[in-house]
């Protein structure tokens, strides 16, 4: 059957059609398969061969080393169960149990599987390797170690030739900058591109930030992320966590003479929660170049008892905390006094200053107006309504304590019941407490104003 064998000595048992051969055994089948060893037991009826001692099987570019092998000549299947080592191009595989299908050039390894490549080392419980296509399929708990990468999963495949991989089930990739996890992770190392699906988490160690979602895309150079489907951004600090949700999150990091610079964008249905500040808007950007968070399209912020609205809002960050905020166009601050009464401040430009994560001063410039309910020892004593060019408001314990009016101030202090509380509201008044995020889970709630 196109098979030839040579050795130092051999015995042929005619009745049983069994061959026993000794020393320097060489079996050749066709032009590509060679099997070497020290002892051979061969059954001619079923074409099963057992080779023991310094076994070497060569099939095209693949070499298999072991001490004991069984080879089915008819079906061209070899297997071992005492440990073996396979060399195929730049890949070296070892395992306790192995099966090789010569016709399809596929190996099946089990128990203490190790795959060594110039770029990485892989450990797995079970691995199927196609030596022709140089693709490894792994099953069970698996780990991959590279120079600057660590990955693990319970199922997946890796194209060793094209450096493309898919990790599934409890999948995780650690590239030293970020830890990326998800149900499925695909990565093309040559292209520097990857995507992830379901329960995706990107943990950026350098920036103390976490991005979550159910779909994510990543480019290596320049470093770029895009996350959608339940997208969430989490900023960690020593004192607090900030949680942000939007339909889509995008992050770009570029390198320059002064180091890395990050740009973050969130759009459609943005909602924010932290212990000291909550917010909503339609789109948001953050640039590490100027450390400014910009909120667009009817943004609203809440801090303590205060609601702040404008056409657009900027938050200025210093040392990872808000230093001040600026409200541009139709700036409006509302503070709840009781169920029907509200202090109100509005103007063209409003600046709020923070101390220990709370607003302690508000400065209004241009067409400044205010409605303020004066309270003495818990009792309402009057209503102050005034206009001026600019205004300074000071806060204490999250509430308005003092108001200073500058440049042509005009106002009056009326008795508390001189007008109804509804008449004491500006025409742009909107109390939006019903859409305020209450906790980190509430950022996913869809709301209508």
Task: Say yes or no: 309 and 404 in one domain.
Answer: yes
From 198, 248, 188, 250, select the one nearest 220 (Cα to Cα).
188
Q: Which contacts (CB < 8 Å, 24+ apart) does range 225-229 have? A: 225/249, 225/250, 225/251, 226/250, 226/251, 227/200, 227/202
Instruction: Judge whether 48 lies within some domain.
Output: no
Instruction: Judge whether 235 lies within some domain.
Output: yes
Task: Say yes or no: 257 and 327 in one domain.
Answer: no
What is the number of domains present in the chain?
A: 2
Token pair for 147 = 């120079």
Instruction: Judge whether 347 lies within some domain.
Output: yes
Half-sphere CA count of 360, side-chain side, radius 13 A: 6
Q: What is the pLDDT of residue 1?
A: 64
Give the pLDDT confidence of 127-178 residue by residue, as tens digits: 998 988 889 899 999 999 988 889 999 999 999 889 899 999 999 999 888 8
CA 120, CA 125: separation in Å to the nearest integer? 17
Task: Say yes or no: 269 and 374 in one domain.
Answer: no
Of 270, 295, 320, the domain-final residue: 295
Task: Say yes or no: 406 and 438 in one domain.
Answer: yes
Instruction: Judge whether 159 lies within some domain.
Output: no
DSSP structure string for 334-366:
EEE-SSS-EEEEEEEEEEEEEETTEEEEEEEEE
CA 263, CA 250: separation in Å to the nearest integer? 8
Residue 427 makes CB contacts below 8 A (sequence gap 6+) with none
CA 418, CA 424: separation in Å to the nearest integer? 10
Q: What are phi and psi of 444, to 5 degrees?
A: -90, -5
Of 245, 268, 295, the domain-final residue: 295
CA 182, CA 13: separation in Å to the nearest integer? 60
Residue 9 makes CB contacts below 8 A (sequence gap 6+) with 21, 22, 23
Instruction: Judge whether 80 lies within some domain.
Output: no
DSSP structure string for 31-83:
TTEEEEEEEEEEETTTTEEEEEEEEEEEETTEEEEEEEEEEETTTTEEEESS-
Task: Say yes or no: 369 and 285 in one domain.
Answer: no
Where do we find the tokens 């042509």?
408
Residue 138 makes CB contacts below 8 A (sequence gap 6+) with 113, 122, 124, 126, 127, 128, 153, 155, 156, 157, 158
Task: Say yes or no: 185 and 310 in one domain.
Answer: no
For every one of its 449 residues, what pLDDT tens digit does the chain have, with 9 covering 90 and above?
Answer: 678 999 999 999 999 999 999 999 999 988 888 999 999 999 989 999 999 999 999 988 889 999 999 999 889 899 999 999 999 888 899 999 999 998 888 999 999 999 998 888 999 999 998 988 889 899 999 999 988 889 999 999 999 889 899 999 999 999 888 899 999 999 998 888 899 999 999 998 877 889 999 999 988 888 899 999 999 999 887 777 899 999 999 999 887 776 678 899 999 999 999 998 999 999 999 998 889 999 999 999 998 889 999 999 999 999 888 999 999 999 999 999 888 899 999 999 999 999 988 899 999 999 999 999 988 887 888 999 999 999 999 998 888 888 999 998 898 888 877 777 788 899 999 999 999 999 999 999 987 76
Instruction: Judge whether 227 lies within some domain.
Output: yes
Task: Identify the domain containing residue 289 by its residue range.
Answer: 175-295
CA 358, CA 85: separation in Å to the nearest integer? 65
Q: What is the pLDDT of residue 377?
A: 80
CA 149, CA 203: separation in Å to the nearest integer? 14
Of 263, 295, 327, the domain-final residue: 295
151, 179 contact by CB (below 8 A): no
Task: Say yes or no: 312 and 437 in one domain.
Answer: yes
Give the pLDDT confidence of 49-101 residue by residue, as tens digits: 999 999 999 988 889 999 999 999 889 899 999 999 999 888 899 999 999 99
**What CATH code is carried by the domain that includes residue 404?**
2.60.450.10
Task: Say yes or no: 187 and 278 in one domain.
Answer: yes
Instruction: Judge whether 378 lies within some domain.
Output: yes
Task: Say yes or no: 334 and 436 in one domain.
Answer: yes
276, 240 contact by CB (below 8 A): yes
Instruction: Judge whether 271 lies within some domain.
Output: yes
Beta strands, E only, 220-240: 223-236
Task: Say yes or no: 226 and 244 in one domain.
Answer: yes
CA 27, CA 67: separation in Å to the nearest integer? 16
Residue 308 makes CB contacts below 8 A (sequence gap 6+) with 300, 301, 302, 325, 327, 331, 332, 333, 334, 350, 352
Task: Say yes or no: 305 and 438 in one domain.
Answer: yes
Task: Say yes or no: 285 and 316 in one domain.
Answer: no
């Amino acid at each position: 059957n196109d098979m030839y064998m040579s050795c130092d000595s051999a015995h042929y048992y005619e009745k049983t059609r069994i061959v026993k051969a000794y020393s320097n055994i060489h079996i050749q089948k066709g032009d590509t398969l060679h099997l070497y060893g020290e002892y051979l037991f061969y059954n001619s009826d079923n074409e099963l061969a057992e080779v023991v001692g310094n076994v070497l099987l060569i099939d095209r570019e693949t070499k298999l080393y072991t001490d004991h092998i069984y080879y089915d000549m008819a079906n061209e299947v070899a297997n071992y169960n005492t440990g073996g080592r396979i060399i195929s191009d730049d890949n070296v595989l070892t395992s306790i149990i192995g099966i090789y299908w010569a016709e399809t050039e596929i190996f099946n390894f089990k128990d203490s599987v190790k795959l060594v490549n110039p770029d990485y080392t892989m450990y797995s419980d079970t691995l199927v390797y196609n030596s022709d296509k140089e693709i490894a399929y792994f099953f069970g708990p698996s780990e991959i170690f590279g120079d600057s990468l660590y990955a693990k999963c319970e199922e997946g495949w890796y194209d060793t030739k094209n450096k493309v991989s898919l990790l599934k089930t409890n999948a995780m990739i650690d590239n030293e900058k970020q830890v990326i996890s998800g149900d499925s992770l695909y990565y093309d190392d040559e292209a520097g591109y990857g995507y992830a699906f379901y329960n995706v988490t990107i943990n950026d160690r350098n920036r103390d930030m976490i991005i979550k979602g159910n779909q994510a895309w990543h480019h290596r150079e320049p470093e770029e992320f895009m996350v959608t489907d339940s997208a969430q951004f989490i900023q960690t600090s020593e004192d607090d966590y900030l949680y942000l949700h939007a339909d889509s999150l995008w992050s770009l990091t570029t390198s320059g003479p002064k180091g890395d610079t990050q740009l973050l964008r969130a759009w459609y249905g943005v909602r924010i929660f932290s212990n000291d500040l909550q917010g909503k808007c339609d789109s948001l950007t953050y640039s590490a170049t100027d450390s400014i968070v910009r909120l667009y399209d009817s943004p609203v912020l809440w801090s303590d008892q205060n609601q702040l609205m404008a056409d657009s809002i900027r938050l200025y960050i210093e040392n990872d905390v808000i230093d001040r905020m600026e409200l541009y166009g139709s700036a409006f601050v509302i503070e709840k006094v009781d169920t029907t009464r509200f202090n109100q401040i509005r103007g063209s430009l409003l600046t709020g200053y923070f101390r220990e994560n709370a607003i302690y001063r508000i400065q209004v410039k241009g067409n400044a107006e205010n409605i303020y309910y004066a309270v003495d020892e818990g009792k309402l004593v009057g209503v102050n309504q005034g206009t001026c060019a600019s205004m300074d408001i000071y806060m204490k314990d999250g509430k308005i304590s003092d108001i200073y009016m500058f440049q042509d101030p005009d106002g009056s202090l009326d008795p508390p019941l001189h007008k109804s509380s509804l008449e004491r509201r500006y025409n742009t008044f909107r109390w939006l407490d019903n859409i305020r995020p209450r906790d980190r889970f509430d950022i996913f709630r869809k709301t209508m104003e």
